[in-house]
Amino acid sequence: MVEGVKAAFVDHDGEQAGDPVRGVRAVISAMNAPVPPHRIVLGNSGYDVVVAMQARPSHP
């Protein structure tokens, strides 16, 4: 199973959507912040997931 996942990553290297350089810069910037964030959201799909989660009613 692990080998299959690893092969999928290798096969799709360089084909990722979005701007990987911009993503790396955002991660490095966050890591170098005086108080680094616990989480960082990257890309449109990541943003969409966070917005959808915030729109859901919270459970007690």
Instruction: Kindly list the domain boundaries of the chain, sorted by start residue.
Output: 2-55
CA distance 40 to 26: 9
pLDDT in tens, 22-52: 999 999 999 999 999 999 999 888 899 999 9
CA distance 57 to 54: 8
User: Residue 60 above 70 pLDDT?
Assistant: no
pTM for the whole thing?
0.61
- Note the pLDDT of residue 57: 85
User: Residue 6 above 70 pLDDT?
Assistant: yes
Q: CB–CB of 34/20 below 8 Å?
A: no
**SS3 state at 26:** helix
1: confidence class by pLDDT, cuts 50, 70, 90: confident
- Note the pLDDT of residue 40: 93
| DSSP code for 30 | H
Write the CB contacts of 27 (distance below 8 Å, at least 6 apart in sequence). Answer: 40, 42
